[in-house]
Amino acid sequence: MSFKTFQLNLYYLRPWLTFILIVWLLGSLGLGWLVNSLLIIVGLLLLAPVVAFFGFRWWLQSNLVSDRCPVCKYEFTGLNQTQINCPNCGEALLVQKHRFQRLTPEGTIDVTAVEIPTQSAED
Ligand SMILES: [Zn+2]
């Protein structure tokens, strides 16, 4: 190992050496608890995003619903227990029990078709 690589290694090790030195110093001063609590805080800070990420992924997996629109058969993804509109036909849908359901029960949405007798305007 040449002197230069030794210097380079030392350069990269210096933050760690400083860290160890500080820990040792605080420990010798009877401030080991401070080091421990700092380590716990740093550990939590590092852990929190990981936990949040996996928690969010789990939540998303159990709440994402892929189904077909009951009206136009367009397949898309929605969140469970939410009300959405079909991106294809605009029908208001309710995501329930991992299925897409029409918000308005079938039959009631249909406006009763009134047959208007075709009369000629010439009468
Ligand atoms: Zn649709």
Residue 122 covered by a domain:
no
Q: DSSP per residue over 61-89, as a string?
A: HHHEEEEE-TTT--EEEEETT-EEE-TTT
Three-state secondary structure call for residue 105: coil
Predicted pLDDT of residue 71: 92
pLDDT at 113: 59
pLDDT at 54: 95
Would you say residue 58 has pLDDT above 90? yes
Ramachandran angles phi, psi of 65, nearest 5°: -120, 125
Q: Would 15 be classed as within a structural domain?
A: yes
pLDDT for 107 equals 59
Q: pLDDT averaged over the chain?
A: 84
Higher-pLDDT residue of 34, 79: 79
pLDDT digits (tens, 9 = 90+) for 80-100: 999 999 999 999 999 998 899
Domain count, the chain: 2
Ligand 1 geometric centre to CA of 81 (Å): 18
Same domain membership, residue 56 and residue 8: yes
Q: How far is the CA of 3 from the centre of ligand 1 (A)?
A: 72
Contact by Cβ (8 Å): 65, 98? yes
68 domain-assigned: yes
Residue 111 lies in a domain: no
Measured on CA atoms in the order 10, 16, 21, 24, is the torsion positive or negative?
Answer: negative
